[in-house]
Amino acid sequence: MTGREGSAEDTFKQRSGWLIPLAVFAVTAVLSALVLLYYLAPTPSSLIEERQSPTSHTDPVHLTVGGLALTVPANYLLYNSARRGGERRQVELFAKYPGFRGYSDWESQAFNGNGPDSPIVYMLIRNEPFSLGEAERLKRIYLSYVADPRGAPGPFGLTQYMFRDDSGYRREDLYVGEPGGRTVVMRCVRYSQDVPSPSCLRDVRLSNTVVLSYRFKRAQLVGWQAIADGVSGLIQSFAPNAHLSR
């Protein structure tokens, strides 16, 4: 019995001698695989996030956003999924200023660029009930965050307001224009080392349930009124029942 027990004990020691390194190797391999998976595998958002896919085709696409019917040529739509048409929560579009033409292969370089003087205007039509009009938003929201509610003469016939440093808009400037009695309110990101190609943003109510946002490069602010008129005309051609509120 003693001999057998000794033999069994020797066998166990021999096995444990190579089982421990094997276990360490297996654990190390699993941990390495998890690290690689963490850094290299696509995240869930990247798996479902749609890439921009412009097209030069001009087939009409029929869409509905918040009850607002639109008929948009395919080359104005930023994403392929929108070209299937139907009911959507939001629709992304783009056009080239000053002609407000849709995407074309021969102008692809302009549409794909993001320089500080890019002529591309991006538009977003989204379902957002109870949105305030521009004049009301200026009075009830923005003026609460500016240093001087009276404003000051700005460039290109605009009134300029400086946001306070303690506000959430401290990296932006506020510009207001009143062409023909309308109120046009634009927030423009300031130039900085971190933002060498800033944009300006305007929100416009199309109906009680639909809002249009459009943005353009700050370098194009000189043409703010032509851009406002161009966007208005373009949206009216897509959605004749839309009413750009003041």
Residues 223 and 190 in one domain: yes
Place of tokens 């080239």: 96
Using pLDDT thresholds of 50, 70 and 90, give the confidence band for residue 239.
Answer: very high
13/82 same-domain check: no
Condensed to tens digits (0 to 9), the pLDDT of residues 48-78 reads: 578 889 999 999 999 999 999 999 999 999 9
* Whether residues 57 and 42 fall in one domain: no
Contact (Cβ atoms closer than 8 angstroms) between residue 204 and residue 246: no
Q: Are the beta carbons of 205 and 65 closer than 8 angstroms?
A: no
Q: What are phi and psi of 74, to 5 degrees?
A: -60, -30
User: Edge to edge, what strands does the sheet with 86-87 contain?
Assistant: 68-73, 60-65, 86-87
Model confidence at 224, pLDDT cuts 50, 70, 90, reads very high
**Number of domain units in the chain:** 2
Bridge-based pairing state of the strands 68-73 and 159-162: unpaired
Residues 87 and 13 grouped into a single domain: no
103-128: average pLDDT: 96
> 76 lies in a domain?
yes
Domain-located, residue 29: yes
Residue 242 confidence (pLDDT) = 82
Q: What is the mean pLDDT of the chain?
A: 85
Asked whether residue 6 falls in the same domain as residue 59, the answer is no
- 10 falls within a domain: yes
Q: Is 232 exposed, middle or buried (0-12, 13-18, 19+ CB in 10 A)?
A: middle
Residue 88 and residue 197 in one domain:
yes
Same domain membership, residue 101 and residue 12: no
In a shared domain, residues 123 and 232: yes
What is the span of the domain harbouring residue 135?
A: 51-238
| pLDDT confidence bin for 241, thresholds 50/70/90 | confident
Q: Which amino acid is at 158?
A: L
Render pLDDT for 137-190 as a digit per residue (tens, 0 to 9).
999 999 999 999 999 999 999 999 999 999 999 999 999 999 988 899 999 999
Tokens in use for 214? 């459009």
Tell me if 97 sits within 8 A of 216, measured CB to CB.
yes
Global pTM reads 0.79
**For 97, how many CA atoms within 13 A lie in the half-sphere containing its CB?**
26
Mean pLDDT confidence for 13-27:
52
Q: What is the model's pLDDT at position 122?
A: 98
Answer whether residue 244 is part of any domain.
Answer: no
The reply to whether 138 and 17 lie within a common domain is no
Q: Which residues of 153-170 are buried (b: 16+ CB within 10 A; e: fewer)?
A: ebeeebebbbbeeeeebe
Which helix (H) or strand (E) covers residue 8, if one does? helix 2-40
